[in-house]
Amino acid sequence: MINEKYCRVLELDKILTRLSELTCCETARQRALSLKPNDNLSIVKDETAKTNDAFLLSAHFGTPVFTKMDDPSEHLKLAQVGGILTPRAILNIAAVLKQARTLLEWYEQCANVQNTLKPVFSMLMANRPLEKRIASVFISEEEVSDTASDTLMSIRRKIRSAGSRIRETLDKMIRSSTYQKALQENLVTMRDGRYVLPVKAEYKSTVSGLVHDTSSSGATLFIEPMAVVEANNEIRVLQSQEKAEIERILAELSALCGEQADVIASDFETVIALNLYFAKARLAEQMNAVLPRITEDGQIVLNRARHPLIAKEKVVPITLSLGQSYRSLVVTGPNTGGKTVTLKTIGLLTLMTMCGLLVPVSDHSTISIFKKILVDIGDEQSIAQNLSTFSAHMTNIVSILNEADGHSLVLVDELGSGTDPVEGAALAQSILTELFQKGAIVAATTHYAELKVYALETEGVENASCEFDVKTLQPTYRLMIGTPGRSNAFEISRRLGISETVLSRASSLVESDKKSFEDVIDRLESSRQENEEKNRELTAQIKALKEERESLRTANHDAIIQKEQIIEQARKEASRIVDAVKLDANLIMDELQKLRREKEKEDFIRRTGEAKSQLRGKLDKLSDQANPVVKRSNEGYVLPRPLKKGDTVLIVDIDKTATVLELPDKSGNVLVQAGIMKTRVPVSNLRLDEKAKKPKLNGASIRTISSNKGAKTARGMMELDLRGQTVEEALMELDMFISRSLLSHIEQVTIIHGKGTGALRSAVHDYLKHCKQVKTFRLGVYGEGETGVTIVTFK
């Protein structure tokens, strides 16, 4: 179990507070606040997988709605032993039942999607009859419905009838001239649940009846006239019957709840568990968090990790690794440069993972779980304990050294600070060595140059630095692995106005070996910045090459589609010609057969000659139809001017429009492009078309067939792609598509309209609503295209 003190230092409690604010009720909030890091690998993997699946299901199907409810366990125990529950307690149980039912209904839409939450949802047990019975009884916590039972409805009907009779009698008295002078006001009121009249005190004898109350001044008496006493008594009796009936109904409902107490309690626990998973998913969405690879081998690989408590617009991502080629990381750099944030990011993301939360890192990150996470961050000075800053830190370090082992993550800030620098550096180096020998994974920050040298010289220990821009005197908060940081004290002082005399004297006081070490670090930093600049240039070049390759791939893909379309069109045309030839050949054969039967007749020779002539003519005609190239004469045509690149010309013998790509060669042949085909044609076979618009020759294929038509050819009659069209064009295309589908007896089709602004989808849906042939239509689900498509079923 991780020490709670270390969890507070790393601010896990603040993350759990944010999580609790996303829960639905007090019970779930307390569960969120009480989450503890778990060091069992299988449990951590299972919990994070469920959180990740809750995130994915929410992204695809929307987050299920959770309502506020109280823990019903105590009330259920009372119901089990025969106690009568209050309306509020029964309505809370109904809320639990409704929540379980709505969660099951929500999960039905994603039940076919493989996910780890299925066993949790399967624990829910809906009880629709009990839920409906409770809903039929109560209007609110204070009011029971008339329809709760036939007896209650009858009693209340009698109460209303008796009340009407009383008001009718009292209204007559109010309107009567006999009583008007005696009344303080012309109205009927109630005292102690009985109907009374406000009578002036001096006219008490005028209205015979029972006095129930007086005004504060004593000037008004509230008298129940004798004429309505019996009716008021009847109402009192009926009200007692009403109360008894309500008690009976509550007892009945309480007994039903008691019978299902275990199931209802289980439902509540499952609802709270699901609410917590989906709250974790919502927190992950807010943090832009993902599921890392989880191990227990001590490896931590953070790619673009962000501290979750720093505002998104301010946080600077860090990338680092621990536990692979090195197990100890020494982070150096100026104050306020981000060293402490780096340690807290490592520790907090590890704790979050162990609590089943997703973490704000990029893909391919790895987080290891640990049996112990030991932390010394911040000033633990205590006046009450008479401890200095150094003593407080050393007290923590002693505890850490006693506990650390091969399953520990140790995070130490400003190791060895607060005492003599020479002794502090030596002590810090010895502590790092001890932790390294114990097998712990260590990240420590320091200002000591001796520790930078130690990290350079010791295998398994690595330097890191928080970058600082001397020009602006501002930290960049970037973590640089493999490079020790500089103090930058002289440069910062110079920028702030310290004289060169003072700086020169200070520089001369620095030991030569330390000065040489700082110079080495300076040269390393310059080399690193130069390499980074080259890397940025190479990255930009690679990006440009990738974009060019993608453009060529797209152009090639378009050319292949166009080629397939032309081949398909040619195949259809050839099929049509063959069918026509077969038809005419059959007619000719029929004619010859007929002539053969008539060969004995006198006019056989004449008919034979006529048939031969007809046959010859038809064969010549069929030959012309089957020949795709018709020789046309360009005789007598002279080009009005020399051809230029980009001119639109007509290839006369095949009657095709083309674009000039190259000027005539020595042989008088011109390279032209017709569709996707390039060929050389004699100048004499070309005519210039000066009226046509010149196409742009940018190296890409000239597209002659729209992508929508190509998509239809590939997908046949089952889909219609309307993307990129105006509403008017799309509706015209949709109308023709539905007609073709009905003629082909297709029962279901898919309309692809895309997501976009939703205007095209709305127009399509409005059209389908008024189409008599459409039986049903709906938006696609996951795997069908979701809101980008509409599935249509015909009658």
pLDDT tens-digit series, residues 577-603? 767 766 766 676 666 666 556 655 555
335 is in an annotated binding site: yes
Residue with tokens 């599935």: 791
Q: Using an 8 Å Cβ cutoff, are 185 and 203 in contact?
A: no
For residue 159, is pLDDT > 80? Answer: yes
Question: Which of 190-204, 267-281, 317-331 is least confident?
Answer: 190-204
DSSP string, 298-326: S-EEEEEE--TTS-TTT---EEEEESSS-
783 is in an annotated binding site: no
Q: For residue 15, what are its two tokens?
A: 């993350």
Between the alpha carbon of residue 773 and those of residues 60, 212, 394, 690, 789, the distances in Å are 31, 75, 83, 49, 19
Dist. CA 277–CA 118, nearest whole Å: 13
Q: What angle do CA 166, 168, 170 make, to 5 degrees?
A: 70
Reference 394, options 373, 380, 374; nearest CA is: 380
What local confidence, expressed as pLDDT, does residue 471 receive? Answer: 59
> What amino acid is encoded at 744 in this protein?
S
Average pLDDT over residues 459-471: 78
Dist. CA 50–CA 281, nearest whole Å: 9
Other Cβ atoms closer than 10 A to 427: 18
% the chain with pLDDT above 70: 81
- Distance, CA of 70 to chain centre: 29
What local confidence, expressed as pLDDT, does residue 701 receive? Answer: 36
What local confidence, expressed as pLDDT, does residue 603 receive? Answer: 59
What would the pLDDT profile of 692-744 be if each residue is shown by its tens digit? 554 444 443 333 333 344 434 434 468 888 888 888 888 888 888 888 888 77
**b/e for 525-548, b at 16 or more Cβ within 10 A?**
beeeeeeeeeeeeeeeeeeeeeee
Q: Using an 8 Å Cβ cutoff, are 657 and 648 in contact?
A: yes
For residue 568, is pLDDT > 70? Answer: yes
Average pLDDT over residues 681-701: 63
337 is in an annotated binding site: yes
Pairing of strands 372-376, 366-368: unpaired
What local confidence, expressed as pLDDT, does residue 348 receive? Answer: 96
Reference 225, options 277, 182, 161; nearest CA is: 182
What would the pLDDT profile of 613-660 be if each residue is shown by its tens digit? 565 555 555 555 545 444 455 667 888 888 888 888 888 877 778 888
What local confidence, expressed as pLDDT, does residue 189 receive? Answer: 84
Give 43 or 689, the one with higher predicted confidence: 43
338 is in an annotated binding site: yes
Which stretch, 371-385, 687-701, 781-795, has highest mean pLDDT? 781-795
482 is in an annotated binding site: no
What would the pLDDT profile of 488-501 be if each residue is shown by its tens digit? 566 666 666 787 78
Q: Using an 8 Å Cβ cutoff, are 399 and 362 in contact?
A: no
Q: Return phi, psi of residue 357, to 5°.
A: -100, 150
339 is in an annotated binding site: yes
Band of residue 52 on the pLDDT scale cut at 50, 70, 90 = very high
27 is in an annotated binding site: no
What local confidence, expressed as pLDDT, does residue 474 receive? Answer: 58
334 is in an annotated binding site: yes
DSSP string, 57-112: HHHHH-PPP-------HHHHHHHHTTPPPPHHHHHHHHHHHHHHHHHHHHHHTTTT
Q: What angle do CA 194, 196, 202 make, to 5 degrees?
A: 145
Dist. CA 368–CA 360, nearest whole Å: 15
Band of residue 441 on the pLDDT scale cut at 50, 70, 90 = very high
> What amino acid is encoded at 107 in this protein?
Y
Which stretch, 44-48, 107-111, 156-160, has highest mean pLDDT? 44-48
Radius of gyration of the chain, Cα coordinates, nearest whole angstrom: 45
What would the pLDDT profile of 98-144 be if each residue is shown by its tens digit? 999 999 999 999 878 899 999 999 999 999 999 999 999 999 888 99
What would the pLDDT profile of 741-773 be if each residue is shown by its tens digit? 887 778 889 999 888 888 888 989 999 988 888
Residue 382 per-residue DSSP state? B
% the chain with pLDDT above 90: 38
Q: Going along 472-550, which residue ranges are E strands?
A: 474-481
